[in-house]
Amino acid sequence: MMSVITNIKSCFVAATVALLMLFVSNANGQESDKGLEFIKATSIENDTLFLDSNDIIMEIDTSDIEVIVVDSSKVFVPDPTKAVWYSALMPGAGQIYNRKYWKLPILVGGFMGLAYGISFNSRYFTDYSNAYRDAYSDDPNANSYINFLPYSYRNNKEWIENNKEWIRSSLKSKKDYYRRNRDLCIVSMLAVYGLAMIDAYVDAQLYTFDISPDVSMRLTPAVLEPTVKTPAVLGLQCSLVF
């Protein structure tokens, strides 16, 4: 009888101890959860984010992130109409308005070269035109064509009279040659003038066009499908990414 009572007391004590341990563990769990909530609230106030996934915590510090606000009214965007008018008033002004200063030396160099070509060919065209006119004149003082003859024949009047037709033909050929070159230079200058206007307009239109720096070429094997007359052919396929 005493042994049964002793066993009952031992079971009661063991059950009591187990209940106490379970209560303590639940209390500790609640306190730990409250502590975690407190840490989260404090972290959010300090601009720190916690991502909890499968007991893994990732910390991202956002305190150093700066947000830059750009005033769109201060961003330069050229007007295509203004660029064309500026370029029409003075060649190169449209490129300066578009802030493409590197194009200005090319444009100015082209105009200066063509202007020199016009002046050079005009001067020789005038000289040969006067000489060609004097070669048909009966005035003995109108002899400017003699200056275009070789030195050994300038004082040989007999040779000049015998070769008058050849002299006239040569003078006419030279006159036409320099006149053609002068006209080509004038047309080329007008073309450069128009090209400068077109370039200024297109450059202003595409000023805000986004050009990606990622330009690459990819080569991949490809099989051409067989046809009635040709079998399947193995080749390369080229693709550009931009």
* Domain identity same for 192 and 144: yes
Does position 37 have pLDDT exceeding 50, yes or no?
no
* Domain identity same for 33 and 141: no
Strand pairing partners for 49? 60
Query: Does a structural domain hold residue 78?
Result: yes
The token pair at 120 is: 């050079």
Q: How many domains does the chain have?
A: 2
Q: CB-based contacts of 144: which residues, under 8 Å, 6+ apart?
A: 127, 130, 131, 134
Q: What is the pLDDT of residues 146-162, one digit of tens each?
A: 888 888 888 888 888 88
* Domain identity same for 177 and 136: yes
- 13: containing domain: 2-61
Q: What is the pLDDT of residues 39-91, one digit of tens each?
A: 444 444 444 444 454 555 555 555 566 656 555 567 888 899 999 999 999 98
Query: Does a structural domain hold residue 138?
Result: yes
* Domain identity same for 53 and 77: no
The structure's pTM equals 0.56
The helix/strand/coil state of 176 is helix
